[in-house]
Every structure is written in C-alpha cells, then in structure tokens.
Amino acid sequence: MKKIASHLLEEKARIKNDWPLRDAGGLPLLFSPLLAGMPGLTHAFTTRLGGQSLEPLQWFNLGRHWPSEQSRRDATANRSRLCRALSLDFSRLVVPGQVHSTRIAWVSEPESLPDVDAVASSLTDTPILLHYADCVPVIIFEQKTAAVCVVHAGWRGTAGGIVARAVRAISATLDAEPENMVAAVGPAIGDCCYPVGEDVARELAASAGGAERLIRRGDGRLFPDLKALNALQLLDSGVGAVDVCSFCTACRTDLFYSHRASGGKTGRQGAIACLRPLI
Ligand SMILES: [Zn+2]
C-alpha cells in the first residue's frame, strides 16, 4: 500500500505545466497559475528580459555577484524595477545571501539576512527575493494563517531536503497543517540538460521515497529531475497542491540565465513573494 502511494506521488511530481509570460508594468514575468489565484499573495518569477544589465549578464540580472560596480548598480535598479512592476515596497525588500545550505530564516523585520537558502515570513508588505541560475526556485504559501517561504534549492539543498525542512518550519512556527499549503516550483535546469556523477545521484536518490525513479539514465550517465525531486518532497510532506513550471533554464538561454549553459559566467533570475493584507 505504501509503495503504491509513493509511486503515485512520484507520478504527480513529474507533471510540468506551461506558464505563459505576462506583462506586468512593462516587465515580462512568469506567474504560477496556482499561486496567482491565491488571495493575500503577490509573487513572480523573473526571466533575463526587461532590464539593462550588460554582457554577460544581459538583461535583467538580479544578482550582485559579478565583480563590477556597474553590474551591482544595475542589479539594484532591476530589483527596484521588479518591485515597482508588482507594486511592492522596495525599501522593505529582503534578499538573503545564498550558500547552498539547508538553513531557513524566519523574518520578522525587513533586515539584511545572514547566509541562508530559504526565507519564511508572515509579515505583510515585506517582499522576499532569492536569485538563481539553474537552481530550483520554490515558493511555498500557507493559506490559512498566511505565511510565505521562498527557497533556493540547488542539488545540495535538494539532497538535504530543504523544501521538506521549510514545510516543517512553517508547520512548527505557525502550528499550521501542510495540507493548507500550496507551492510553485519555478523555471530551473531540466533533466534534459543536467548530467551528474554517481555520488551526486546517490545523495539525490536518498532525498525522498521514490526519488531514485526521478533520476533518468541515458548514455551511461545520470540525469536527475531537480524540479520533480523538489515537488516530490513537497507532496511527500503533505503540501496540498504543487505547480511545476516546464521551462528548462539551460534549453532556453534566450529567456533565462543558466550556470551550466554559460560555463558559470552569467546573471541571476529571481523568485519574489510578498504577503498582502486581506481587505
Ligand atoms: Zn534542458
């Protein structure tokens, strides 16, 4: 019985949905259809389109990782433009340092955060932004008491179960039920473009029941589906519904930054989420 349940979750975790690019205040953005229908939440996933960052970060880079003052100024201008497009308060924007950990911070004031890879909050009007270039962006929304968590899951975070930890952290802090949570898994590298070594595959296979079936074997190599692995952890944690974006960041470098496809010299797209007061 348990085996059948795990098999069903894994089939559900594989499902990808096509998200249309939409214009928001002159900026092309992606929205999860599932999260877009949630009252009390504003969210978006960005692409590389819309800003003025220079090569090799063209055009809408949100990272401040590149060693030039100009690129950092452009990234700050792009972050500000993103907030404006979504009618969010840039002065309250929370952006953590990201270090491929499984650490989660609970934010109770807009503040500069230490190095964490997930930020949760139940504060309204406090946007949270994390940035990515192939790694998996995840937004988790708890509908009943209203809390949001933005997660950065690369292979290490995925292997360490960062999204399952985030669900547990929200449940514990708010005494909330995972079934009242919904989650969106944004554009990230697909199993079409992500061969890994045996050691990485072994760690990912141990991240959830049935995870090994989300690692494809081809040409004698192993190709994990990182988006599906995170979706599986969310579903396995009891999250009510999960919406996974079909875009592969390495296949679509016209739309996204890809660490793999660029050899590491590239910008960062973002996932942003903000709770709104219910009127
Ligand atoms: Zn691909």
Looking at residue 83, its pLDDT comes to 98
- The CA 205 to ligand 1 mean position distance, Å, reads 20
191 CA to middle of ligand 1, Å?
Answer: 7
Q: What global pTM score does this model have?
A: 0.96
* Distance between Cα 11 and ligand 1 center (Å): 20
Give, rounded to a whole angstrom, the gap between the first and last alpha carbons of the chain. Answer: 45
Find the 60 Cα to ligand 1 centroid distance in Å: 21
pLDDT given at position 2: 47
Amino acid type, 232:
L
CB 227 within 8 A of CB 1: no
Written as one letter, the residue type at 24 is: A
CB 198 within 8 A of CB 223: no
Whole-angstrom CA distances from 106 to 16, 119, 170 are 29, 6, 9
pLDDT at res. 4: 55
**Cα–ligand 1 centroid distance for 248 (angstroms):** 5
For residues 27 and 196, give the distance between their C-alpha atoms in angstroms, rounded to a whole number.
35
Question: What Cα–Cα distance (Å) separates residue 156 from each residue in 67, 77, 229?
Answer: 25, 30, 12
For the chain, which domains are there? 2-275 (3.60.140.10)
Residues with Cβ–ion distance below 5 A, ligand 1: 190, 192-193, 248, 250-251
Distance 216 CA to ligand 1 centre (A): 13
CA of 279 to the centre of ligand 1 (A): 42
Q: 4 C-alpha vs ligand 1 centroid, how far in Å? A: 30
Q: Which of 101, 127, 133, 130 is nearest to 115 (CA)?
A: 101
CA of 146 to the centre of ligand 1 (A): 34
Q: How far apart are CA 137 and CA 92, in angstroms?
A: 21
CA 253 – ligand 1 centroid, Å: 10
What is the pLDDT at residue 106? 92
Per-residue pLDDT of the chain (279 residues; tens, 9 = 90+): 445 566 899 999 999 999 999 999 899 999 999 999 999 999 999 999 999 899 999 999 999 999 999 999 999 999 999 999 999 999 999 999 889 999 999 988 777 677 899 999 999 999 999 999 999 999 999 999 999 999 999 999 999 999 999 999 999 999 999 999 999 999 999 999 999 999 999 999 999 999 999 999 998 899 999 999 999 999 999 999 999 999 999 999 999 999 999 999 999 999 999 999 987
- Closest listed residue to residue 140, CA positions, set 166, 122, 115, 116: 166
The DSSP 8-state label assigned to residue 145 in this structure reads T
Distance 263 CA to ligand 1 centre (A): 15
Q: How far, in Å, from the CA of 175 to the mean position of ligand 1? A: 39
